[in-house]
Amino acid sequence: MCPSAPAALPRPPRILHILHIQARAPSKCQVPVMRGLYAIIDTDALARRGIDPILFADAVLLARPAAIQLRDKHGSARRMLDLLRALVPRAAAANVPLFANDRPDLALLAGCEGIHVGQDDLPVTAVRALAERAGARVRIGLSTHDLTQLDPALAEPIDYVAIGPIFPTVNKEQADPAIGLPALTDLVARVAAVRPGLPIVAIGGITLETAPHLGALGVCAAVIGALLPPEGASSSDPNGPDALAAVTARALALHTALLQAKAPG
């Protein structure tokens, strides 16, 4: 399905290197800072466009985002494990943390750096217990959709909290209602008051146009659709060099827009 050896990564431009260091530097309380783009490799959205997930990941990694995630909602466990095993060395070569969505078992088998779970997935404490049994140190992210979910989430042993959807999205079935930027601003203040320094990942309908607003709030932005060509767009080869260069350009533009917006503090 895909090449298994990671492609040699070209040296990023100097400005990106500086942004990357700023985005990953540990904060005073040693929580890794997450800023910029959190790119999601969504196998369904990619399949609808005929894009290979590994070639797509290689293209995204050239932009050195803050994190990547494999989200494979409808594949078999075996396929997701194969994909994660192909992604782990690529993400490591780019020094970008790879999160597996929903499946701590597969994440641990493949050696991922992190796991993302939502309100209906395994509880965070169970994921921690599983990781401990496997002797692995992992970062865990947890989804929330409103204040009633955010408050209990902040008491969990998590490494970041996700909040969404901020804007309407077509890439999540039965998504919660979009909360908008003013409500996000309130929730960001709540996190800062209760768990200062805990990284926040905003998600849902985020585009290059809205990215600066999120960067200005000091949050990371998780993105599926804005990394992709529109569905049905005519491209002679969605996995050809021009199409993949366009993916890198979108990732770079989003990451830069998020990092260059003036964050508080």
Ligand X SMILES: Cc1nc(C(=O)O)sc1CCOP(=O)(O)O
Is 102 a binding residue for Mg ion by CB under 5 A? The answer is yes
The structure tokens 């508080």 sit at 264
Beta bridge mates, 223? 39
242 is in an annotated binding site: no
Give me 251's structure tokens.
Answer: 């990732």
- Gap between the Cα atoms of 31 and 35, Å rounded: 12
Show the CA angle centred on residue 40, arms to residues 39 and 42, nearest 5°: 150
73 is in an annotated binding site: yes
- Phi-psi category of residue 232: left, alpha or beta, with phi > 0 → left and psi -120 to 50 → alpha: left
14 is in an annotated binding site: no
- Nearer CB in complex with ligand LCLJCK34: 82/102: 102
Helix (H, G, I), strand (E, B) or coil at 129: helix
239 is in an annotated binding site: no
Is 149 a binding residue for ligand X by CB under 6 A? The answer is no
Least separation in angstroms between CB 84 and Mg ion: 15
Distances in Å between the Cα of 113 and the Cα atoms of 21, 107, 145 are 18, 8, 24
Q: How many CA atoms lie within 13 A of 132 on its CB side?
A: 6
Q: Are 105 and 129 a contacting pair, CB within 8 Å?
A: no
Least separation in angstroms between CB 168 and ligand X: 8
Least separation in angstroms between CB 234 and ligand LCLJCK34: 29
Q: Find which of ligand X, ligand LCLJCK34, Mg ion, none residue 201 binds, CB within 5 to 8 Å per kind.
A: ligand LCLJCK34
Answer for which of 59, 153, 202, 224 binds ligand X (CB under 6 A) is 224
Using alpha carbons only, how large is the chain's radius of gyration in Å?
Answer: 17
Answer for which of 58, 72, 82, 102 binds ligand LCLJCK34 (CB under 6 A) is 102
Helices (H), 158-201: 180-194
Answer for which of 118, 212, 225, 229 binds Mg ion (CB under 5 A) is 118
Answer for which of 52, 105, 121, 176 binds Mg ion (CB under 5 A) is 121
Give 222: exposed, middle or buried? Use CB within 10 Å, 0-12, 13-18, 19+.
buried
262 is in an annotated binding site: no
143 is in an annotated binding site: yes
- Gap between the Cα atoms of 62 and 64, Å rounded: 5
**Quick one: which of 17, 47, 28, 79 has its CA closest to 171?**
47
Is 204 a binding residue for ligand X by CB under 6 A? The answer is yes
Q: Find which of Mg ion, ligand X, ligand LCLJCK34, none residue 38 binds, CB within 5 to 8 Å per kind.
A: ligand LCLJCK34
Give me 148's structure tokens.
Answer: 């009633």
Site for ligand X in 28-47 (CB under 6 A): none
Enumerate binding residues for ligand LCLJCK34 (CB under 6 A): 38, 69, 71, 73, 101-102, 116, 118, 121, 141, 143, 162, 164, 172, 201, 203, 222
Q: By the criterion CB under 6 A, which residues form the site for ligand X?
A: 143, 145, 164-165, 169, 171-172, 175-176, 203-206, 223-225
